A = this chain, B = another copy of it.
């Protein structure tokens, strides 16, 4: 029910996925006035989709602590409860991020030995993908948290990127040992002492062009790095369009380029990377952008499905979070 377009986008995304992917059933929670007209009428859809009507929703600007207190009976809380009870494998929401984290922590609980959960973002690479965490769950962190994030990110990369021994880096403002905050220096030491495949400092300009699979940082820096990259990508595309708008031949060139570029080679479309993955919880939670379109929301749903199929939580539990 969250997100800028309430149920319209999620229902459309579910409808498309039901026709593309087998063996996945969906349950949507929301306020129901407009729902019947939105629901796909095909038999395939009817078999695999259920709508649960709720009485209230959590607003986008609600403080997490307030949202948590008032969460009973909301679409967000009811959806998470389904995972907590073991009746669903994962939950996806485009609603209030802070509230989603607070309610998910309350209902699903943190994994043993994890102090703080993290939000992970998948980022593009010329030759694949990488991931960055935390991108916003924890404004303040300790080195112990960053070590946890590195372990969680490693497990994630094993499942989603299918890498046996993913490389880990620590976001910093330089490569030299003397650079960085106290948090960076103490986390660097902690990571060097771990048995992770730790490769040292990564600068923000190397996130998309480097070769490290898992980059860890605190939630403030990670959020800034992620949004700066998104903004810069959008800016480049706008600048190119603006330049093309000033010359018919330039425009023709751009059309030719777009038309003949091999599809799927590399996508700069942010909708292909939509979805913050909550890690450290005893259940799979994916947060979609509030402004996600159908394609972007489908990406978040697909992340949730892949993580459930890869059984990420069991993998973390089995091998333990703290490496030794």
Contacts and interface: CB of A to CB of B under 8 A. Distances in A.
B234 A205 contact: yes
Report, nearest first, the 7 A-B pairs whose CB atoms are least far apart. Answer: A253-B256, A253-B257, A205-B231, A232-B232, A204-B227, A228-B228, A250-B260
Interface in A222-238: 223-238
Given A173-B223, A180-B139, A243-B262, A230 B205 contact: yes
A205 B63 CA distance: 23
Interface of A: 61, 63, 124, 126, 136, 139-140, 171, 173, 176, 178, 180-181, 203-209, 219-221, 223-240, 242-244, 246-262, 265-266, 268
B238 A236 contact: no
Nearest to A139: B181
A63 B174 CA distance: 13
Given A173-B220, A181-B220, A204-B228, A247 B262 contact: yes
Contacts of A124: 235
A236 B236 CA distance: 7
B252 A256 contact: yes
Contact of A223 (B140, B204, B251, B262): B204
A149 B201 CA distance: 27
